Each structure stands twice: as structure tokens, then as C-alpha cells.
Amino acid sequence: MPRKRAFSVRNIESINDKKSYNTAVKSARKAVLIILVISFIIFASIAIIAISKEGFNSFLATFESINLGYYRLALVIIFGSYTIRYRIWSMYLRRLGVHISTGRNYVIYMSMYSMDMTPGRWGRAIVSYTINQLSGVRFAVTFPAVVADIFTDFLGFAVITDAMALIVNKFVFVSFLLTFLLMVPFFFVYIQRPFNYVKRWFWKCRKRFNVLRRLDIIFYTATLYFRHNRKLGGRVFAYSMMLTIPSMFLNGMALYVTMLAFGVPVNLSYIPTVIFIFSSSLVLGMITGIPGTLGVTDAALISQLQYFYPATISFGLAAAITIFFRMASVWFVQGFGFVAFLYTLKYWKD
């Protein structure tokens, strides 16, 4: 009698088990909390180093010098940058045949960022369950939109970094090399031929080694992913970059405004340099694969702020700018994402 498979395409495509998703959400929350603790440990370490270099009173004075009006503007800019990207998400869903009212869809989209600090940003997939419960659309149909949104984020950072490197004329080769390495995994996500080759190899080996049956779920899910991903098409990604690049530019402007908040004399001619500092620091962190690019991006921001502005930015000032900017660009985003997520729980049926 043939052995029954534990998983099937049908099972994966019709995921709607609230208990399983509650378990996944709990795991995601734990990951976010752990990363939050690590993040503040990093902030504390940066502050301790600054205090050891410049003294407690000097570093405290730097912290207290922040102009909260400018800082609030930085928060508004960041929130606006994510709102701009909502139109991309909405376009993805329309191409996948999913139709949800604008208000509900906007809240669902924002709820993605409540789980953005999970490894590989896998927590974003929670929106596929919310959509399933709200509209009955299967998980596998909307998951390509989640992946596409992550992909365009990375692509936007790559384009901004390389463009600003050329304008600033600094670290051009390194920037292009790092962004290329960052994008390589996505070539395998969006080009099906390599997956088909690996899949054929897997099925051959699976017949000889039963232990490989445990990987069935991965290949069934990937098969479904490519089936629905075709509906997006290449033109969608080209159009999405028209919104993603301005959005990433706005995130960089939030760093510029944060620098102004600490009294750094940067006029408009310095904007390309500031945008490069922002984007290249994030790319460096993304290459490591560390959730939230913790530690790496923080260190890169501090070092580059001092490198490009040695006469005006001390270590203590660079540390303060980095801490406040990272709180805005990472934890403020997590905050409004979490509020949106709590609201979407009303769509989860018992």
C-alpha cells in the first residue's frame, strides 16, 4: 500500500487554521521582544562607549540638545514613506485578484510591520491569514504579494545606494558589490528555472532517502508560490519602483532631519551624502541577515557620520543621532505596525 504523504498542495493552499497562526504569532512576538531587548542593549553599549570617550555630562548634554520639533518631523516623514508604499501593496493584491476596501486593506498592510523584525521578515506573512479570514482568499494566493513587497524594499535600497555612491563619488565599487550580493537570493525567488532544477534533484533523492520527505512542505509551498507569482508580472515591479525609490529617499531624509534636530549644520547640498550614509549602512546590515540589521547598521551609521563630517560630528554626537534615528526608523515603525495588527485581530474568526 503506498505511503500517504503528510502534506499536499491542497492542504497548503487552503491554510485557515487559527490555532496554527496564533502559535506563529506568539513565536513572532517572542522574536520581536528578544530583538527589542538586544536593540536596547546595543543602544546602551553605544552610550557607554560615548560616555567613556567624552564624559557623562557631555554626552547627556548632547542628548538634551535635541530639537523635538525636528524629531517629530522625522517621525512624520517615516510614517509618510510607509504610507506611500501602500499603493504598491494594493496594486499587488489587485493583480492577484484580491479586492478589499481601501480602509481595511491599509490597516492590514500596516500590520505587516508589527512583525518586521522577525528573521527573514517571515512575520509579515501574517497578513495572508488576515486576508484569508476577511475575504476567504487562500494563503498561497496572497503570499507572493508579501514576498514582492520585501523584494521591492531591498531593490529600492540597492538603487538608492548605488545612485548616491555615484553622486558622492565614494565607495562606488563596494556599494555596487554589496547591493549585487544583496539581490542574488531574490533572483532565485523570482526565476523559476533554478527552483525546477533543484526540485527534480530533490524528488530523485527523496526516493532513496526517506528522511527527505520532511522537506515536502517546502517544495509544495514553493510550487504554489511560483504558480501565483506569475500573476504579478515584470511590469508590476517596474511600476512599484516608481514609488519605492521615493519612499526610501524619504526614509533617508528622516536621517537628515534627525541631524538637523541635533544642530548639525547640513544644508541641502549635503542631502546626497546623508542619503548615502543611510542606505549604505542599511545595505551593510542586510548583507549579514541579522534581524533589523542590529549592531551592524548602528556601527556603520556612527562610523560614516564621523567619516563624512569629521569637523562637526564627534563620536558622542554620532551616537546620539544613531540612537534617535534607529528608534524612529525601526521601533516607531514596529509601534504603528503593532497598533494596526491589534486592530486587524477583529477580522480573525473563532
pLDDT at 13: 44
Count the alpha carbons within 13 Å of 186 in the hemisphere toward its beta carbon: 19
pTM above 0.95, yes or no: no
Nearest to 136 by CA among 11, 23, 13: 13
Residue 145 lies in a domain: yes
Question: Is residue 231's pLDDT more than 60?
Answer: yes
Residue 267 lies in a domain: yes
pLDDT at 25: 64
Residue 210 lies in a domain: yes
H or E element, residue 301: helix 296-308
- Decide which of 281 and 192 is more confident: 281
Residue 68 lies in a domain: yes
Q: Spell out the residues 6+ positions from residue 84 whose beta carbon is closer than 8 angstroms to its own.
A: 243, 246, 247, 250
Residue 78 lies in a domain: yes
Domain of residue 267, residue span: 9-347
Residue 1 lies in a domain: no
In the chain, how many domains are there? 1
For the segment 280-339, what is each residue's pLDDT rounded down to a tens digit?
999 888 887 777 677 889 999 999 999 999 999 999 999 999 999 999 998 899 899 989
Question: Is residue 79's pLDDT more than 90?
Answer: yes
Which amino acid is located at 135 in the chain?
S
Q: Can you spell out the DSSP letters for 192-250?
A: HHHHHHHHHHHHHHHHH-GGGGGGHHHHHHHHHHHHHHTTT-HHHHHHHHHHHHHHHHH
The angle subtended at Cα 116 by Cα 276 and Cα 100, nearest 5°, is 110
Q: Spell out the residues 6+ positions from residue 8 whose beta carbon is closer than 8 angstroms to its own.
A: 220
pLDDT classification of 14: cutoffs 50, 70, 90: very low
- Residues 33, 318: Cα–Cα separation, whole Å: 26
What average pLDDT does the segment 177-194 reach? 78
pLDDT classification of 122: cutoffs 50, 70, 90: low
What average pLDDT does the segment 30-59 reach? 85
For the segment 232-245, what is each residue's pLDDT rounded down to a tens digit?
766 777 788 888 89
Cell of residue 147, nine digits: 514576498
H or E element, residue 346: none
Residue 4 lies in a domain: no
Which amino acid is located at 73 in the chain?
L
- Decide which of 129 and 20 is more confident: 129
Residue 3 lies in a domain: no
Question: Is residue 194's pLDDT more than 90?
Answer: no
For the segment 85-113, what is each residue's pLDDT rounded down to a tens digit?
999 899 888 888 888 899 999 999 999 88
